[in-house]
Homo-oligomer: A and B are copies of this chain.
Amino acid sequence: MHKAILFDLDGTLHNRPKSLVTFFRDQCERFSMNVDLNRFVELDNEGMRWKDEVYEQLVKEYQLPLDPQQLLADYVTLFPRFAQLYPDVEHTLEQLKAKDYKLGIISNGKKGFQRAVFNSLSINEYFESVIISDEVGLRKPDARIFALGIEQLNVQPEQALYVGDQYDTDIIGSRNKGLKAAWKTNEQVDSDAHFQFSSWRQFIPKLQQLEGETWSSAKQK
């Protein structure tokens, strides 16, 4: 039985793709920018690229009469306010808390900024430990940041489960430190396949779900 559950933030609890789109629509309006949303999302590359480069590129590509630094400052200040959770996250945390799991966060991200995103999600009350890579000078998949996480919750690796969406960073990383791992497959994966299964016992039920009502009627002779 596990005693602690630690979570990644972006793409796991924080619906960053949705937050980003909502924020950028708002930013475009406020700065009267006519920029393709998809291009912004593409340049962002799932948060892999920091926004200074992204805005510099956008200003160049779209010949915007704007200062990239001003857009960056606007992003740093306002993006956290647009941060939103995936559906059912809060209810899940409540249930885990009720079962006495110790909960923690281990997130790669910029000091201050990532903390602001976390605070904006209004889930502080559930967590005993919140680690941001830039604050501690370690980044996932470094085993030492997972060691820090379980140390702060006062549990052994094998008593902890790590939940994340980046396979190499989160799953391989936490497994290397001896934690159990749960993989949240991201929306990219979900949207390319119409469904996913790991044993054939799951296949028919998932197919029926995809087919909807028609399974029981149309195919019957």
User: Contact residues of A with B, CB < 8 Å?
Assistant: 1-2, 86-89, 91-92, 95-96, 99-101, 161, 163, 167, 171-172, 175, 180-185, 189-190, 192-201, 203-204, 206-207, 210-211, 214-215, 218-221
Contact = CB atoms under 8 A, between A and B. Distances in A.
Contact of A100 (B2, B91, B180, B221): B221
B88 A200 contact: yes
Nearest to A3: B219
Contacts of A167: 189, 192-193
Nearest to A191: B175
Dominant secondary structure of chain A at its interface with chain B:
mixed
A184 B200 CA distance: 9
A88 B183 CA distance: 24
B172 A183 contact: no
